[in-house]
Amino acid sequence: MSDMIIRNGELLTSEGTLERKDIRIKDGLIAEIGSELLNHGEKEWDANGQILSPGFVDLHVHLREPGGEKKETIETGTLAAAKGGFTTIAAMPNTRPVPDSPESMKQLMERIQEKAHVRVLPYAAITERQLGRDLTDFEALKREGAFAFTDDGVGVQTAGQMFEAMKKAAEIGKAVVAHCEDNSLIYGGAVHDGEFSRQSGIPGIPSICESVHIARDVLLAEAAGCHYHVCHISTKESVRVVRDAKKAGIMVTAEVTPHHLLLNEEDIPGDDAMFKMNPPLRSKEDQAALIEGLMDGTIDFIATDHAPHTAEEKAEGMRLAPFGIVGLETAFPLLYTNLVEKGECSLIQLIDWMTKKPAEAFNLPFGKMEIGMPADIVVLDLKKEARINPQEFLSKGKNTPFADWVCKGWPTATFFNGNPVWTEGRVNA
């Protein structure tokens, strides 16, 4: 681990103003933040007036390994994360095998140790093989390093099972993280049950498919005394339920994806599976409610739901292709360009939603630029403008609806525990 000084960076103050500072990194930690720091023989990195942000935190990522290595691996997924400025990501358990036992969790931790380029926090499954039948051994999984519990990809179908899971999670101080989808309300849908569905004839998933699960779960979480986290919230009714639950003092948090903030069903160009994800792109009103929910704190933070698939799979069209799009390498530039530059939110709000807020929601000691914290730092060039080219992604997944969008605000270097894990163009470290 090399000691280093990063010079001439712009740091955001808590008031949202920028200050020119140097950062001294020692033993992988932030040792000093100040002006014109004296060199004690360290290597130097000149940030040239670019923004220095805490490394981004993404609590919803599909790394696909083990079992789905054609789509992504721990290696390629974490390289994509580093390129996108993320230094902490949480990996979803819908892999083969599923991390649903101490043995499979242990093996996953070993693979992560060996192959990951950034910090990976593995989720454990709520039910064995995510089949919704038997609950996993939460305590044993926690001992092996489970970050939290989720059956992401499918909803927990019965209230009774969710209640049992929440009571167990509460006992061991872990969160239940929910993909909210009631199987009896999917109707074989591939898109939102709205205007695009009616015009195209492609079956739609109604908003209640998500919102009824959230309404059920916040009451269960209240009764169980459990931290309940809503994945990829997508409907205006869901936002209302979470808002009311927070007002009632229920321990609920929620995340929203960049694509649900930036797109709605009217943006779907036709039978193009790059626009197929679960939950689907909803209506314009839903999109507006998500932005409002983020602004007023109902929605706590942003997570990408990075979901790589092969080109062949995504070529199958809306009805047959799998759900999901990639997001790690485009999240910040897309949100910076389309929210901050358009005046919808400030730079510090966006950075907080991608750093401090997810860390705080799960009591993680990351996402802040403070003395003694891991030196997880992303360097951002707010002026650099470039066109999104999926062929340049480090992720194996090239499945994005944002190809050819022109964005500003690109990461140019990412430091993880003080080491440059991704740099654009230069290495002077």
Residues of the shown chain interacting with Zn ion in the complex, contacts defined by CB under 5 A:
152, 179, 231
Query: Which residue number, 11 or 328, has a Cβ lying nearer to Zn ion?
Result: 328
How many whole angstroms separate alpha carbon 217 and alpha carbon 245? Answer: 10
286 is catalytic: no
Check 22, 152, 300, 305 and give the catalytic one: 305
* Beta carbons of 224 and 167 less than 8 angstroms apart: yes
Minimum distance from residue 210 beta carbon to Zn ion (Å): 10
Give the CB-nearest residue to Zn ion: 179
Closest contact distance (angstroms) between CB of 219 and Zn ion is 21
Read off the tokens for 234: 């997508």
Shortest distance, CB of residue 267 to Zn ion, whole angstroms?
20
| Of residues 22 and 181, the one with the C-beta less far from Zn ion | 181
- DSSP-based three-state secondary structure for 62: coil
Q: Strand 86-91 and strand 119-122: pairing? A: parallel
Sequence-distant (6+) residues with CB within 8 A of 148 are 90, 123, 124, 169, 174, 175, 176, 177, 229, 362
Shortest Å, Cβ 126 to Zn ion = 13
Query: Nearest CA to 327 among 395, 376, 377, 237?
Result: 395
**Of 150, 190, 335, 347, the residue nearest 257 (C-alpha):** 335
Q: State the angle between helix axes of 208-224 and 159-171 in degrees (0 to 180), rounded to the nearest 10.
A: 40
Nearer to Zn ion among residue 323 and residue 405 (C-beta): 323
Q: At its nearest, how many Å lie between Zn ion and the CB of residue 153?
A: 6
Q: Looking up tokens 């229920």, which residue turns up?
A: 250
What torsion do the CA atoms of 164, 168, 173, 179 make, to the nearest 10 degrees?
Answer: -40
Sign of the CA dihedral 45, 348, 263, 241? positive
Instruction: Return the number of the residue (59 or 116) whose C-beta is nearest Zn ion.
Output: 59
- 3-state secondary structure (DSSP) of residue 151: coil
Residue 59: CB minimum distance to Zn ion, A: 12
User: Which residue's CB is nearer to Zn ion, number 144 or number 152?
Assistant: 152
Nearer Cβ to Zn ion (151/329): 151
Report, as residue numbers or ranges, the catalytic residues: 305
